[in-house]
Amino acid sequence: MFSNTKYPIQEVDEYRFIDITANKNDRSTLVFLHGMFGGLSNFEYLIDQLSGYYRIFVPEIPLYNFSKKNLSIPKLSKWLEHILTNHEIKHSILLGNSMGGHIALEYALHNTEKVEALVLSGSSGLFENEFGNSKPRRGDRDYIRERAEMTFYDNSFVDAALVDEILEVVQSTRKLLRLLKLARATHSYNMENLLGEIHHEVLLIWGKNDVITPPEVGESFAEKLPNATLKWIDKCGHAPMMERPERFYEYLKDFLDHKTNLNKKISSHEKEENYSHL
């Protein structure tokens, strides 16, 4: 879903991506990870605001190209590790929405030194109501629209074009089977007992009206992650970076500015220590 974007799309090895290099290359790369029904356009507003300051890499996760045995969060994390290595992304700040947040957590768990920080929004990994916990009925537009509207507080985001995109997926047996396989795998891979091992600084940005990963899920993440800060967006559902992009960006910018200033202080302190030995 949401695969069309105003930004140039590149393609390598059957996956598409946006890769924008900033003028300044001394910062960690921002890696944006979409959800199960998401796509490249989900992050356009953030790219608009941040592309002059950070390298931004947005891979389109090719869910329907993977074999069913590779449709799991650990396998998708391995895929992410592979493509970030191929694109020479050695240090990153991962921003993940929904399933993308789940992948980001798994990646950070096993690639601690490669991740500077995490930003999670509506992340799976503890509890989620994907598609209302029911099997999509193939030809029922009203049913598809109703379930798609669960993603947003403002139903105007769900137009005829989006309903058509979802129908195209669920009417394909191959795509539907992969989607259901991944949904089951995502539900079954609960990370509650692993979150305490993730010591990166984490910004949680949650919609107060999220019905897929409800507010109590955001609170649970904030409680179980050792170094997490939770920010709320009112009148907002499961995809805050799309539905309330300005507020989302305000929270994100404050977080990134904090990380930049902190790194400057650390760098300055390290220089002072080095000079003290002269």
Element at 146 (helix H, strand E):
helix 141-148
Question: Other CB atoms closer than 10 Å to residue 220's CB: what's the count?
Answer: 17
Please check whether residue 138 lies inside any domain of the structure: no
Please check whether residue 32 lies inside any domain of the structure: yes
The pLDDT value given to residue 85 = 96
Side chain identity, residue 69: K
Please check whether residue 76 lies inside any domain of the structure: yes
Across all residues in the chain, what is the average pLDDT?
Answer: 89
CA distances from 50 to 5, 32, 106, 118, 162 (A): 16, 12, 25, 16, 27
CATH number at residue 105: 3.40.50.1820
CA atoms 17, 23, 25, 31: torsion sign: negative
The pLDDT value given to residue 142 = 87
Q: Which of 230, 225, 246, 2 is nearest to 104 (CA)?
A: 225
The pLDDT value given to residue 278 = 46
Please check whether residue 104 lies inside any domain of the structure: yes
Please check whether residue 44 lies inside any domain of the structure: yes
Alpha carbons 29 and 114: distance in angstroms, whole number: 10
Residues of the chain short of pLDDT 70, as ranges, are 1-2, 23-25, 130-139, 262-278
The pLDDT value given to residue 133 = 46
Domain residues for 231? 10-129+189-272
Question: Other CB atoms closer than 10 Å to residue 253's CB: what's the count?
Answer: 14
Please check whether residue 5 lies inside any domain of the structure: no
pLDDT per position as a tens digit, 137-173: 556 888 888 888 999 999 998 988 888 888 888 888 8
User: How many domains are there within the chain?
Assistant: 1
Alpha carbons 19 and 82: distance in angstroms, whole number: 16
The pLDDT value given to residue 270 = 44
Side chain identity, residue 193: N
The pLDDT value given to residue 268 = 47
Contact present, 170 and 144 (Cβ < 8 Å): yes
Question: Other CB atoms closer than 10 Å to residue 179's CB: what's the count?
Answer: 22
Alpha carbons 13 and 233: distance in angstroms, whole number: 37
Please check whether residue 180 lies inside any domain of the structure: no
The pLDDT value given to residue 162 = 87
Alpha carbons 151 and 29: distance in angstroms, whole number: 28
Residue showing tokens 């929904």: 98
Locate 70 and state its tokens. Answer: 């590779």
Please check whether residue 43 lies inside any domain of the structure: yes
Alpha carbons 119 and 101: distance in angstroms, whole number: 8
Strands of the sheet containing 15-20, edge to edge, are 10-12, 15-20, 56-59, 29-33, 92-97, 115-121, 201-207, 228-233
